[in-house]
Structures are given as C-alpha cells and as structure tokens.
Structure 1
Amino acid sequence: MKITVLLTALLSASLAFAGPPAPKATGIEGEGYVWNAQEGEKIEALQLEGDVTRGEEAYEICGACHLPSGAGRPDGTFPQLAGQHTTVLIKQMADIRAGLRDNPTMYPFAVTLVDPQELADVSAYIESLCIPTDHGKYEGADVSIQIAKGREMYEKDCMECHGKNGEGDKEKFYPVIAGQHYKYLLRQMTEIRDGHRRNANPDMVKVIKPYNDDQLVAISAYQASLKMPGSMCSAKK
C-alpha cells in the first residue's frame, strides 16, 4: 500500500515538473505582502487538527528527500524536518505553494498535498518525529573557536526568538533549529541576509543584515551544535 502511494505521489510530482512553474507572488519587500498574513490556506490549515496517521501516509513522498526519519541530508541539500513546529511547517509549505518562497525543487511535491487538511496532517506527523542526534555539523579545524564566536552572537541576537536550546517558538512561527544541518543553516541565513529568501521574517533580516560571511559561518556552527532536551532521539548505542 505504502509503495503504491509513493509511486503515485512521485508520478504526480513528475507531472508537476512538466506543468507550469511555481507562481511568484510579491515577496517580503513588496507592497501588500505581510510576512505572516492571517489569511489563505495557511490560516485554514492552522485551525484544523492534524491527524498523525493520515500524515504518515502523506509524508511518503517527502521521505524520498527528507528521509523517512525526517533527518534530511547532512550536506544541507534537504533540511532536517523531524520535530519541527506544525506552525512553521504549514507556513513554509503554504508560502511555497503560493509563490512567496522560491523553492523549485520542493514546489512540485508541495502541490501534491490536496487541501489544508492534508497540510495539517503531514505537519502533525513531522512534528511527532524525534530530532535525530546525528546531523551535519561544522567540521573545520577551528571548530571550537567558531562555536565560541557563534555562541556569543547567538546569545546576543538569536536566543530571544529561537530559545536557549534552539527550540524556537511554535506560537510565533519561530522554527526549531536544534539538530539542523550546518550547511543548510549557513545557506538559509546567507539567502536571508542577501534578500533571496522572500518570505523571511523582517526582524531576522534586520538582525543578520550586518553579518559578514565569517560571522555567518560561526553562528551556523554554533546553531548546528545545539540539542533540544526532550525532543532529540535516543542516542545510538
């Protein structure tokens, strides 16, 4: 049954690739766009109770890239999703579907979710997954120095929103970053700083706009070292 669902979803995604490109709605700096507007399918999905069992089936297509565990890829091509807040997941998927976030790789898969209920279901399932303890970390020779530098910046500029342990804030749509891959963190923060992540929180844009590349490396190295108590998977024996 699961194999049939996955093959059907992959076929649908292939057809989506052959169809029209993702829409391109006005981004964060455009007139009329509000970072977290209270309208559209996002709001409808947020008001629904997600079903973890149905969400597991809907996640089949996601697991091809993000892995069945939700661990993503250590090289940063696909982020760790496991344990992420449903609010964050719903917003990001809805923004991709609406053309507010540019992600041509994700778009054909995101549009296979048929309605707000399915958005809620798959998000509930992903949030239920424990965060893997093994993920991509900064591996430079100066790792301890970079982490120390990053910690200082994180505690000054990031901890208020993302929390002491990278747990984020579900009610405010601030994502979990504990357990996230270093290379993915670095890529996303670089895109936000440089204005390429069009659905970014404008407050975060202001915070990291002054950061140079070396500072982004350091703060990404520290963030990737964080572990969230109670939500991480049990360490492998």
Structure 2
Amino acid sequence: MWLFHRGAVLLATALFSSGLIAEETMTVELTFTPDLNNGRNVYETCASCHLPEGWGSSDGAYPQIAGQHQQVLLKQLLDIRDGHRENSIMYPFVQERTIGGYQSLVDVVTYITRMPMHPRHKQGPFSDFSDEYKQGEQLYQKHCASCHGAEGGGNDKTRTPKLYGQHYPYVLRQIDLIRKELRSVDPVMKGGVDQLSPEELMMIVNYVSWIEVPEGEKAPSANWRNTDFY
C-alpha cells in the first residue's frame, strides 16, 4: 500500500512539474515577439559546441538542434535552467546572466528553428534492407508513432521533438539515460521506454535514424555553411 501511495505521489509530482513547464513554455512563446538579429547574437555562444550550422556532432556528444520545433527547444532550455533536466554543460549557458531573459530565449530558439538540418546526419548500423531495421520500424509504429508521428516529425504544439535528422548515437544515449532514470521525461515517455528491452530500443533508434529528412528542411549539401558566421 505504501509503495502504491509513493508511486502515485511521484507520478503526480512529475505530471504537476511537467504541466508547469508546459505552461511556462507556452506563456513565454505567446508573450515575446522573436528578434532574429538578437537570436543570431545569442546563438554565437551556442555555436562553439553545436556548430554555426546547429548540426552538433556525429558522435552524439552534441545533438543536431537545427530545424527542431520552437516549443521543443524552448522547453528544453527552460527545463535545464529551472533544474528539471540535468545537464551540467548547458546549465551555465542558459542562465539569465549568460543568455538573457525570456526575450533572448525566444529569439535564439526561433533562430535555431529556421536553420536547415544536416543532409547526412549520423545513422545507425542497420540499413533499410536489414531485419533489424524492419523490426525497428514495427516497434516504432506500435510504441512511438502516436506521439512522435509516423515519420518522426514530432509536434510543436505538444512539445514533442522531431526525431528524424538526429544523430543515432545521441538518441541512443538519451534513451539509455531515460531507461536508467538519469534523465527525467514525461511519464508517458518513461513508461514506453520501460516496457521495451535495450535491444528493442536500439532497433527503434536505428530505424528513426534512417528516416529521411524532408527536402524543405535540410541543407542543400553537407558543405553548406551558415553565412551569419563566415
């Protein structure tokens, strides 16, 4: 009985916390009009790790953030700043004394959202001809598509991230952190991860990494450079 009560309290706390962040995210987005010039200036700090193009690193140390949904980016920055997501590297950079207030947050995420994705992000080891890919597709459509979309496009309004275009090692690492309870996420996401084996999760992440980025959202070539910084 005590265990049930404790679990219910933890779930309620998680839901309440995620609800507050969602409300803050929406309020901030609706209150401030984006200033892309300031967004570019703020992003200069981000570019040292995420690159001027926002493409991150293929080894998964830094995610591709270019082209991600605006509310997703805003929520992640607020989560880290407010201590709801553990990220010791990012934490100093999202504080008001470093990045500025809400206005600067809106400016920089709007700037990032408009950047094209890498046309050749790091993919998983199993191509679309493999059994692992096919199993991953089936598992994804069964367990993930209802929130992240059949093609991994996510949803800006629900703050559900795009999965296509993200580096395979990065997504795999995030899933492992969630599974080990080292990263806090929505209870629905945590429940979905918990019911799958590490092998099944790997096949899902592999499948997602092979989903093609839509033509209108990716750079014309891997040699494209963000001229704001060159």
Instruction: Report the TM range for the smaller structure's normalisation.
Output: 0.7 to 0.9
Residues of 1 paired with 2:138 and 2:206: CA distance? Answer: 12
Distance change (3 Å), C-alpha of 1:29 and 1:76: farther
**1:38 Cα deviation (Å)?**
5.6
- Structure 1-normalised TM-score? 0.81
- Structure 1 unaligned spans of 5+: 1-26
Q: Within 5 A, what are the aligned runs for 1:45-64?
A: 45-47=28-30, 48-64=32-48
Cα distance 1:181–1:236, how it changes in 2: closer, same or farther (>3 A)?
Answer: closer
The answer to whether residue 37 in structure 2 is matched with residue 37 in structure 1 is no
Q: CA 1:53–1:186 in structure 2 vs 1: closer, same or farther (change >3 Å)?
A: same
Structure 1 residues 155-190: Cα deviation after superposition (integer angstroms, max 9, x where no partner): 111112111221110000000111001011111112
Alpha-carbon distance in 2 for matches of 1:130, 1:31: 34
**Contact 2:74 2:106 (8 Å CA) reproduced:** yes
| Cα distance in structure 2, aligned partners of 1:31 and 1:236 | 40
1:83 aligns with 2:78: no
Residues 126 and 133, structure 2, Cα contact 8 Å, conserved in 1: no
Shift of 1:205: 1.0
Q: CA shift at 1:43, angstroms?
A: 4.2
Contiguous gaps of at least 5 residues in structure 2: 1-9, 224-230
Residues 213 and 31 of structure 1: CA distance in aligned 2, closer, same or farther (over 3 Å): closer
Distance in 1 between residues matched to 2:173 and 2:60, nearest whole Å: 8
Judge which range, 48-57 or 70-79, deviates more.
Answer: 48-57
Bigger Cα displacement from structure 2, 189-198 vs 103-112: 189-198
| Alpha-carbon offset, residue 93 of structure 1 | 0.4
Q: For 2:147 and 2:14, how far apart are their aligned partners in 1? A: 26
Matched, 1:163 2:157: no
Q: Deviations over 1:61-95 (max 9, x none)?
A: 11111111000011001100000111011111011
Q: Is structure 2 residue 81 aligned with structure 1 residue 97?
A: yes
C-alpha separation between the residues in 1 aligned to 2:167 and 2:120? 9
Determine helix, strand or coil for the equivalent of 2:99: coil
**Are the aligned partners of 1:42 and 1:116 in contact in 2 as well (CA < 8 Å)?**
no
- Structure 1 residues 235 and 148: CA distance shift in structure 2, 3 A: farther
Give 1:207's match in structure 2, choosing from 187, 192, 195.
Answer: 192
Q: Is 1:194–1:209's contact at 8 Å kept on the other side of the alignment? A: no
The one-letter code sitting in structure 2 at the alignment partner of 1:177 is: L
Q: Would the alpha carbon gap of residues 159 and 114 (structure 1) be closer, same or farther in structure 2, given more than 3 Å must change? A: same
Quote the residue 1:24 is aligned against. none
Q: Distance in 2 between matches of 1:168 and 1:221?
A: 17
1:70 alignment partner in structure 2: 54
Distance 1:38 1:215, change over 3 A: closer
- CA shift at 1:228, angstroms? 3.2
Residue of structure 1 equivalent to 2:161: 175
Deviation of 1:202 after TM superposition, in Å, equals 1.1
Higher helix share: 2
Displacement of 1:29 after TM fit?
Answer: 7.1
> Structure 1 stretch 43-52 or stretch 188-197: which is displaced more?
43-52
State whether structure 2 residue 138 is matched by structure 1 residue 138: no
CA offset digits 1:29-65 (Å, max 9, x no partner): 7478421326775344222222222111100111111
Corresponding residue for residue 5 of structure 1 = none
The letter for the 1-side match of 2:164 is A
